[in-house]
Chains A and B, each alone.
Chain A
């Protein structure tokens, strides 16, 4: 099968869906002329003209206007430049976008996508490196996806572009350049379904987005120790696939959750609590969570390295529990 990058996969998804649905348009900073800070919109304006709109540096207006346009029958895509800047538009995201359908009794839908490039890159420091998906797991009314590979990036984006709910699409900045197999046939990846990417019997490792790279590394190292890990790529954080998680944990009797985001209050906390509530009697060891330390992302290379997850340390900790 052909290999394309994550970034190309998102471009294909956008182009295919924009050809299909003329209500889709995109707003963001540096996207039309520049093609996006990470090239993720490159060339779209050649085909779609004024449907790709360069905005002022006004995240609040971008999200607010997307919500308004969605209520008036369009299907806007709002690019946030860096996920970190979602804070600038937080009222629009959590008080308007997330709540409008419910608090107005279902009179309208808010079909829109927020594209949010996230994660550590190289020394981008505290305000351009964060993974903030967990914030949005605490706000009913939004769907949250976080693909880990080009095929899922395409399939999930296409699904999001057909979903009548607001969807936040977290796209990891390092993953943009990663290549992977993507079918040339049309396909969708359903929102809300996890992917068991490797079957195993001894421990379940759950991750998503860039965290999946660590999940594979850890599983490979455990394999050398004779431990067969099952890996679940969550793909979607809201709604997350509870059934797949429980089924796997009941089989393997152990659980480790890995993500690049801060561990405290992270997505792993929710999953760990969910498993503890529903399947603790199946567990042979405490649930393990691996995430970033409770500190802002530091700038200097040695400090940033210390901040990052280390698969050797994760393996060491897991082995202690066997």
Chain B
């Protein structure tokens, strides 16, 4: 495990834990009626965004989904502005125009969550096309779920990325649930990555709840893409711990099923066990990161709660340039 230096280990744990605690706080604020609209939580899938974004810079792009808080945080967006946006405040990234489903931070290359399932594929492909035309050494990454792989956008994007050999990594977060439907009942393949072959695209399956496997697999994808080989398809197998949205009655599965996965295959627990058993990190080091995260979350909550709502006079701002 020599390849995992302290900085990287700290980064992976910090990102995962920050996403987890952020989402837990969002859930309770939402249930208290303090967050408008609706929110989709990333709990249980933290290892994917964290393992991928650990290898990206601000010049690399990501396109996200309706379940986008984790991607945004992992990409390095200012937590205060993420929190404020979700609360609908004018100090948020989108000045209160977007909310949870349209969170974005262009300053770190986060091209936006997307309210339309499958809406991000071609945006990421287009960003990759721009990278290629500008002769830059960056990549574009699109996160999407198993459900989105049944959209036509998926197939058009994979084909175009493949024929134009674009620097894009398709990261499928197969969390087994397409909204409230088990993906196996609506999808022609068990492994979504099987579909990559139809577009002559290299692919790999990773354990999406093992941040080390995601990190390693994405590194491989990145090397492949940066070498000019064209796009890569990475499927990360995971499980959606929370409902489709906060408040989802979850009539389609049992609490026991969910609890079992959470107890046995929780990416944060797995990370902690591994680093402690293998002596890569100490409990004190983990605790330091947890304290740091708690402080940042507390600050973000204060920032959001103390920020103003947008003024009605701002209704038309930013419609046209």
The residues of A with any CB-CB pair to B shorter than 8 Å are 25, 55-56, 58, 60-61, 63-74, 76, 91-92, 95-96, 100-109, 140-141, 143, 163-165
Contact = CB atoms under 8 A, between A and B. Distances in A.
B94 A76 contact: no
Interface stretch (B152-160, B223-231, B267-275): B152-160
A64 B123 contact: yes
20 contacts: A25-B133, A58-B159, A68-B111, A68-B126, A69-B130, A71-B106, A74-B133, A76-B126, A96-B114, A96-B123, A101-B321, A102-B318, A103-B98, A104-B97, A105-B92, A105-B93, A105-B94, A106-B317, A107-B107, A163-B321
A59 to B, nearest CB: 8
B94 A103 contact: yes
Contacts of B97: 102-105
A19 B94 CA distance: 35
Contacts of B65: none
A61 B119 contact: no
Contacts of A68: 63, 111, 122-130, 140
Given A60-B153, A103-B102, A92 B160 contact: no
B159 A71 contact: no
Contacts of A96: 114, 116, 119, 123
Contact of B153 (A25, A56, A64, A101): A64
Nearest to A51: B133
B214 interface: no
B112 A64 contact: no
B104 A72 contact: no
A73 B130 contact: yes
Interface in B5-46: none
Given A106-B317, A107-B93, A72 B61 contact: yes
Contact of A58 (B105, B129, B156): B156
Contact of B104 (A74, A104, A165): A104
Contacts of B128: 68
B122 A140 contact: no
Nearest to A97: B123
Contact of A95 (B119, B134, B156): B119
A109 B321 contact: yes
A70 B126 contact: yes
A67 B123 contact: yes
A104 B93 contact: yes
A63 B119 CA distance: 11
Contacts of B127: 68-69, 71-72
B125 A64 contact: yes
Given A61-B153, A140-B319, 6 more contacts: A61-B156, A61-B160, A68-B111, A68-B140, A105-B94, A107-B93
B126 A69 contact: yes
Contacts of B126: 64-72, 76
